Copies of this chain bind each other. A is one copy, B any other.
Amino acid sequence: MSAFTVKHSDDNARVGVLSTAHGDVATPAFMPVATQGSVKSLDPADLRAINARIVLGNTYHLYLRPGIDIVELHGGLHRFMAWDGPILTDSGGFQGFSLEHLRKIDEDGILFKSHVDGSMHKLTPESAIEYQERLGADVIMPLDVCVAADSDKAAVAAAVEQTNRWAERCKETHTRTDQLLFGIVQGGLFPDLRQRSAEHLISLGFPGYSLGGLSVGESKEDMYEGVAAAAELLPSDTPRYLMGVGSPEDLVECVARGIDMFDCVLPTRIARNGALFSRDGRINIVSAPHRRRDEPLEEGCDCYTCQTFSAAYVHHMFKAGELLAYRLATIHNLRFVLRLMEEMREAVANAEFDDYRTAFHARFVPPDQRARHEQKTKWLQSQGRPGA
């Protein structure tokens, strides 16, 4: 029986259900990131309250600290972090990219210098799978080689070949039948390399496919194009997981291109800096206009923060350096993103996704368009017309 069922399609966007050993996940799904076994500043009850269905942990980090043995002692990551819903673990391949100065890659695997204590550790396709079997996540990733967006074609080709060979070794090693091992498509922005990667993985046969090496420095347009092309290469009856993407505008655009699963630290990371999502874009809660705002951060938001506190209180928590600030902001941003996913699922089910997407972009101004948008609004106002 397949672990994934598509329930509705609307052009390339689709709604489905991913079945895991710890429950079903409605897709498109956003996965909050619990790198070290905790979604930063939140507890499991918070995650349930915002309707998170699946969270992501990281093998590399958990291997170094607390150590696989400690998690195993607890019967796995679910009990260790007191989260009985689905978990996906990344393999550590991405850390071979993001911690570039700390690693060396060869045929055998990735040699890391620990960011915790400087000790040396090798992650191989086999050990990455062994560790993930012991962590016990519901969806696991093979070890892959990820390269920067501006890498030359030879480097990307080498990464694809290495990832393909490692995918075979991972598949051979993997034994737990209650875990879904995905394949990771690499190839950056080179269509032929991406095709080669996808075709090889499909020939091996995986219950789902991840898109790696996107959102690693390329422009948004290039990323969207790469996502669309990659999605087309993949079977329509398996889930497509776009790794590391999660700004609201990217979520909408990539759902439009057929992506089913996402993870990203952006909503939680910027929350801790006071950048909070609203339907009109990001607001900086620490800025002066929020000092006297005796109203929720965002009208109509159903999160605990907005239902309980004023924007002025959240502003005060940040200004006063209170720890509660981080949790309140994180709850709001994650709930914003998860509500976006809920709305997109509904729009797709009702075959109204295109309208939803248009309405979203009519209001939501991403940070990189903020200056242009404000200029345009001012110009329209100077012409006696309402803002764009």
Instruction: Please report A residues at the B interface, Cβ cutoff 8 Å.
Output: 36-38, 40-44, 65-66, 70, 73-74, 80-82, 291-292, 294, 304, 308-310, 312-313, 315-317, 319-320, 322-324, 326-328
Contact = CB atoms under 8 A, between A and B. Distances in A.
* Identical subunits present: 2
7 contacts: A38-B317, A43-B304, A43-B327, A43-B328, A65-B316, A66-B316, A70-B316
A276 to B, nearest CB: 17
A319 B40 contact: no
Contacts of A319: 65-66
Q: Is the interface of A mostly helix, strand, loop or mixed?
A: loop
Nearest to A80: B313
B74 A308 contact: no
A42 B324 contact: yes
A65 B326 contact: no
A272 to B, nearest CB: 8
Contact of A37 (B66, B80, B308, B313): B313
Contacts of A315: 66
Contacts of A42: 324
Nearest to A305: B43
Contacts of A82: 308-309, 313
Contact of A66 (B65, B309, B312): B312
A41 B292 contact: no
A294 B65 contact: no
B41 A294 contact: no
